[in-house]
Amino acid sequence: AGDKDTKEKPKYTVAFEATFAPLEFRDEKTGEFTGFDIELIKAIGEVEGFDVELKDMGFDGIVSSVKTGNIDIGASGLTIDEDRLESVDFSTPYYKAGLSVVVRANEDKIKSVKDLKGKKIAVQIGTTGSKYAKTIEGANVTDFDQVTDALMEVKNGGADALVNDNPVNQYYVSKSKKDYKIVGDILESEYYGIAVKKGNTKLLEKINNGLKKLKESGEYAKLYKKWFGE
Ligand code: ARG
């Protein structure tokens, strides 16, 4: 109690869904969670004096868990959007992404999103990609819990395309070029933010200050280069 407590570093739970390389995934060799988001939130904790406890969970449960306070922080390539802003608060944007379309490597009819009308599309449940795909005329959209399963469905021919965040598509496609390719342009710009419970300004300030410090020190740029190679 008292003095002792104030010296203890607070520990915050951080939720993400770990089939989203290179942002959050399980390192096959070590079995540990890793990726840009994971290293970023740990680095923020280091400069702001808090520890993190990592929690892998279904993507569609993250925002609601942060909303109820069951989880302190959502760091999962979460796009800042109108709907989510009703339930949680977001940090300053920390990454610019966008959606793109993945098809089988030998696909020759689908050259852009325009060719997806009436097609079978695989997506990850609860994502902006899922939302987008459902606006495509006549599309038959199937939600998967994991991005890796949605990709497998494309490979197997159960779906014609995957609509998902481009940095993640780039990563998985580069790992199996014989199976997949990306077609067309980036569909729309999206910005990722780190989510906290509405009104938790104390924690949000720590996160925003931490982000600022990491940008100023060059640590952010180092992590970016490590995981996105640019
Ligand atoms: N950016 C997209 C969204 O917010 C997809 C994020 C999926 N993240 C994940 N770790 N699976 O909906």
Q: ipTM, 2 decimals?
A: 0.98
Q: Which domain holds residue 111?
A: 97-189
Are 66 and 111 part of one and the same domain? no
Ligand 1 atom closest to the CA of 190, numbered from 1: 1
Q: Which residues line ligand 1 (CB under 6 A)?
A: 16-17, 20, 24, 59, 76-79, 124, 127-128, 147, 165, 190
Confidence grade of residue 139 (pLDDT, cut at 50, 70, 90):
very high
What's the 78 CA to ligand 1 centre distance in angstroms? 5
The CB density around residue 10, as the number of other CB atoms within 10 Å, is 15
- Greatest Cα pair distance, the chain, in angstroms, is 68
Give the DSSP letter of residue 112.
Answer: S
Are 26 and 81 part of one and the same domain? yes
Per-residue pLDDT for 230 more than 70? no
CATH assignment at residue 68: 3.40.190.10
CB under 8 A, 24+ apart: contacts of 60-64: 60/125, 60/126, 61/15, 62/15, 62/16, 62/17, 62/195, 63/87, 63/88, 63/195
Mean pLDDT of 83-102: 98
Quote the number of domains for the chain.
Answer: 2
Confidence grade of residue 188 (pLDDT, cut at 50, 70, 90):
confident
